[in-house]
């Protein structure tokens, strides 16, 4: 009856394996202050989405969303392709939109082990009935860049990052 024993062991073994893997790998995250300074455009407040991209250029995680009216989210096309399918809970990382000429400071958390590994941070911007900028600001996640000032191409004039 060895076979029977083995057969019994298999589910037990699988259970242990799943149990082991279901413990999410514990990762340290650090907070970063992030200031976004907008250009002097007119019109509605801009929606800004800050995302983490993996080395392949795919969306990995949404770090921050400025703009809490979700009826406009699908205007941020690229990101919506990711978020629209995944529907991650972003309530905790949502803030109000910011208008032309304004500044906002928000705090984002980034996994420590993603630093200097070829990951990228992307700032996407969209304004109702105006343009959409897929990569208004985009930079590599390096220890150098997270304490620097990066110029924007669209609605963002510049972004400043600062480790806390």
Contact set with other proteins (CB under 8 A): 30-31, 33, 35, 40, 42-44, 69, 71-72, 100-101, 103, 105, 107, 128-129, 160, 162, 164
Nearer to other proteins, 143 or 164 (CB): 164
Q: Which structure tokens are listed for 5?
A: 């024993």
Q: How far is the CB of 160 from other proteins (least distance, A)?
A: 6
Which residues are 149's β-sheet partners? 160
Q: Which CB, 81 or 148, lies closer to other proteins?
A: 148
Q: Count CB neighbours of 110 within 10 A.
A: 22
Of 59 and 160, which has the nearer Cβ to other proteins?
160
Shortest Å, Cβ 13 to other proteins: 39
> CA–CA distance from 41 to each of 14, 45, 94 (Å)?
58, 10, 22
The alpha helices in 23-96, defined as continuous H runs, are: 77-86
């Amino acid at each position: 009856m060895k076979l029977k024993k083995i057969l019994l062991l298999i589910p037990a073994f699988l259970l242990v394996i799943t149990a082991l893997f279901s413990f999410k790998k514990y990762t340290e995250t650090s907070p970063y202050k992030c200031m976004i300074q907008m250009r002097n455009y007119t019109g509605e407040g801009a929606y800004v989405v800050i995302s983490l991209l993996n080395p392949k250029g795919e969306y990995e995680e949404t770090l921050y969303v400025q703009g809490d009216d979700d009826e406009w989210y699908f205007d941020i096309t690229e990101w919506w392709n990711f978020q629209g399918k995944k529907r991650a809970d972003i309530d905790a990382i949502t803030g109000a939109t910011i208008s032309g000429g304004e500044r906002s400071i928000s705090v984002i958390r980034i996994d420590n082990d993603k630093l200097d590994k070829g990951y990228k941070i992307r700032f996407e911007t969209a304004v109702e009935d105006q343009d959409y900028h897929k990569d208004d600001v985009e930079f590599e996640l390096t220890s150098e860049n997270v304490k620097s000032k990066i110029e924007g191409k669209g609605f963002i004039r510049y972004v400043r990052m600062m480790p806390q």
